[in-house]
Amino acid sequence: MTESLAGFKQQGLEISLMTDLTLDQDGYLAKLDDWNKEVAFKLAAIENISLTEAHWEIINAVQAFYKQYQHAPSQRPFVNYIANTLGKEKGNSIYLMQLFSDSPAKVAARIAGLPRPTHCF
């Protein structure tokens, strides 16, 4: 089952886009090629997140992980990758949860236009 992002509702927030984007049942882009920065802002709005420079740093890092390993990282590899690439002050669960809520690996992957991380509940 897929849903169009136009009209996708979560927590009372309705998002509409000019383009016809399709999300899977978990809210991830059905076609990864549809992702761009405008889409990221819309996906972040669904999560009630206002993207900052700190968010973009993590989004770019998780996209680099995907490009290198061909899958989105689950939580532990995500935290370790951020620690190794951006430093331990950013590669810890508390920092990442402040940016991306209770499930940073899933939320960051969703906003970054990546598929759902494997082994994430």
CA–CA gap between residue 47 and residue 10 (Å, rounded): 8
DSSP the chain: --EESTTEEETTEEE--SS--EE-TTS-BSSGGG--HHHHHHHHHHTT----HHHHHHHHHHHHHHHHHSS---HHHHHHHHHHHH-TTTSSHHHHHHHHTT-HHHHHHHHTTPPPPTT--
Annotated catalytic residue 120: yes
Catalytic pick among 13, 101, 120, 121? 120
The catalytic site residues sit at: 120
